[in-house]
Structure 1
């Protein structure tokens, strides 16, 4: 009899965004809108530019932002219908058929990553779950000309995202919120 126990690998998807490489070209934003059919006037991801200092000692950080797919997702906790949920792979999704458009999740999100779709449900970045299930990267990652976006399994120590987080200085947005986001910004 084999007494060894098998440890099952649990996938935990996350994203790394390298602020040192991003030029703010918006290719990720356009790819997302095209891939997901996001209505005009709405976006699931966006570019944020932060300038610090005073001339001549200025610094600028460009970030591609979206839902942080938090492990302690307040949007999931406050959802009265269970429409907002976390998949087995750690991706936070909204079941459009269950969503009533009450906006509780929008109010709870510290990242302002959700909006009400014109059809009446909450919408947001899905890490292109439909692509990920086919073994593809999210659309934003696949088109980034500077390769500043990286996606993969944070639980796999050999994955690119795990190595980038382990080997580089990074930050997460709003750490004080205690959401344990899975979107890491290399600085």
Structure 2
């Protein structure tokens, strides 16, 4: 079987904006208070009462196959592993912020404690390597997140992606491995 290639699906129709994913991410990865690896942005309410809708959008690294953040790194601290996850080696990072500036998703930040670039890693070191799902996926009460192997057509992720999905800023050619099921609850984009 081919090497695993991890991806994620965010279903904006299921998301309730509870921020459980963001809280779980912060706890799992010891993210300092003034920054975040993952956030759910809430837009709304929109419409007129009683027909109001809310839009929810995941904001995090989208794990690009053609990641603009990787080739600009002068030390090799930004890299993509064999399983397609974009990572940062904090020991090699010199804090130049080239990768932060190169990310069209604004998903990277300078960690105020370490000074190194930081971002979502799908909890690679702490969970995926142990065969567990990322913290955000495991905690979501609405099952709005699906994680899995893009190379396995029988994976829960591949099966869920058979529905209409979109890729954030796909026109940039970054080839994100985060897919989104757009809001279809009326009034959503």
TM over 0.5: yes
Q: What corresponds to 1:36 in structure 2?
A: 29
| Alpha-carbon separation, structure 1, partners of 2:157 and 2:78 | 25
Which structure 2 residue ranges, 5 or more long, are not aligned? 183-189
| Alpha-carbon separation, structure 2, partners of 1:113 and 1:170 | 21
Q: 1:121 aligned to 2:129?
A: no
Find the structure with the greater CA-based Rg.
Answer: 1
TM-score between the two structures when normalised by the length of structure 2: 0.90
Q: What corresponds to 2:186 in structure 1?
A: none
TM-score between the two structures when normalised by the length of structure 1: 0.91
| Alpha-carbon separation, structure 2, partners of 1:96 and 1:14 | 23
| Alpha-carbon separation, structure 2, partners of 1:44 and 1:113 | 7
| Alpha-carbon separation, structure 2, partners of 1:10 and 1:65 | 27
Structure whose residues are more often helix by fraction = 1
Which structure 1 residue ranges, 5 or more long, are not aligned? 1-7
Question: What is the root-mean-square deviation of aligned Cα atoms in Å?
Answer: 1.5
Q: 1:60 aligned to 2:24?
A: no
User: What is the number of equivalent residue pairs in this alignment?
Assistant: 179
Q: What corresponds to 1:3 in structure 2?
A: none
Change (3 A) 1:172 1:51: farther
Q: 1:158 aligned to 2:151?
A: no
Deviation at residue 53 of structure 1 after TM alignment = 6.7
157-166 vs 50-59, greater mean Cα deviation: 50-59
Deviation at residue 124 of structure 1 after TM alignment = 0.4
Deviation at residue 20 of structure 1 after TM alignment = 0.5
